[in-house]
Structure 1
């Protein structure tokens, strides 16, 4: 029996998992001598995955972790921001992004978006910059590229770091350059719904060795398990310690996760092609519907999306998408208490009131997002479309 090319898992993933089980080593470890003799094994799944990602993206420093959220945290931690620093992010985002800002001891500040794409609007960034703003997170939402070059111009004018959240955009390129390679750091996700998956997982990447070192320490309980020629320059471990040089979480990826993600990475291009076929099918089905009130994203010259979901514009008020982070209960509670969950006071200019980002609040009411997963058959997608747009 021939294995379907769009099957989410197959022989490659099974063989990768079996190799890890046969090795007897399910955790990544922290380098030679840290936990057992097996830690001296040089070629492990996590390292193979990092090397493959670095080669694909052309980014020299990559660190794989246990979730996309952990990758977000690593990217923010890599910047070395002081607690209480303000970090801008789009009003429409997976809530994991502003929660990662909070986890770094920083304050999320929400910028408005283009109401037709829900992607951060470069014109809205400067409006929320303060003297305490240090960084900006850009989300390549849906797998569509954000206008990253214009955004970086704004960030440079304001003296801000730029982090690219590419969780939904593995394979998306701008003028033949992968997203994630434009800013100071980036994060990707291997969560179940993403382009490739190990159930959970993700990675941080950067062109800068110092930021890479900070991200590794943050993600690995302060242990300097550096690769790519980076060496520790911090406090030295003594004979009666285990080498925790600073604060950090245990966000290590497991060898099972890394092995599955590495196998999936080799199939990414075929998954992207299948997603493109499904987008073409959605366009055809909506055209056959003959409803002029439905619109799909307009192509942008030089932008090549790799869709995670496909946003369809519907008449105002008919949208079903939710995703305005500052309206979530956690931020409403912060707004009332005027502090973060970690006790950092919110400055008077930081508000999470309804109406803070009007384009975002209006935009979500005119978008319905179609799941575009490579494992879907044509008939499954057609059935989904009938259910999602039958009332229009």
Structure 2
């Protein structure tokens, strides 16, 4: 069941933007792995630094498919925060796409409202922000029990931009329903979202409900959510909405204030706001626990982190663990070798010759398993 948020403090709307680039210099690396601790993270011993690869242009092989913590520290690199309890997490350079460290990166887990990042990537380009729509009862049919709502009402006319603020700030499943209907319908949007995930190389994600509501079989991963977050940073509308702290939402001839539920952005509930935070999206359901995709910029570097389902520290732990990962990432920039990349993997093709597949050969039957073992439906 999804928890409903509501906040109506009168403050002005603000937005941040992200840009910049970071290049990590090549160097020796060491891998970290081992047994599970009581907190759920795998720790182990760091092997001696290895010599650089013969070809400095060739990146080291990805280890993101392995369970446990994956990191390749250089001498002088800070240690990964030891207190993390999330079932899965990842920190990456948002400009280059290089993954600096991760824990169970491809583990398939319920994403809660962080799946709205993929919904926004899919639907934002299709609907002009100034377009207007008068909501009907049919537009709001099928909203899950206990969903978070922004207060969309039948018979009222809304601009698309109003609905997007309802999605990003209040995580409104009612706003998602209306936008999906304008985009061609609920099931068409599911198909489009699945195709978008595949195109981005996010192969752990299976979309069943575009708003992130808990549904059987709906999963994503820390890796895929970081891919979505990084892609969102390249869309100015996505960045503007995700960075908005407060806004006014229409209600007939009146307006009321809504507040972003991302505590790292707002500083609500005793969570200190993170300096340089851009936004992106938080979520919670009873099945997923707390989830968060966050991005921040400091010293010319932009990082994106994903935290899924912390198992200690209560409902606000997701923000503090994300804070620790952002601090570590900024301190580790240039001091670790990447353990993988958020960039789509190239599709391997058979070499020409007698062993190459015939052009008329039938494709393999059934969905193909993604990196985390989740069957990825064909787009």
Q: Provide TM-score, normalisation by structure 2.
A: 0.29
Whose helix proportion is higher, 1 or 2? 1
Whose strand proportion is higher, 1 or 2? 2
Q: Provide TM-score, normalisation by structure 1.
A: 0.29
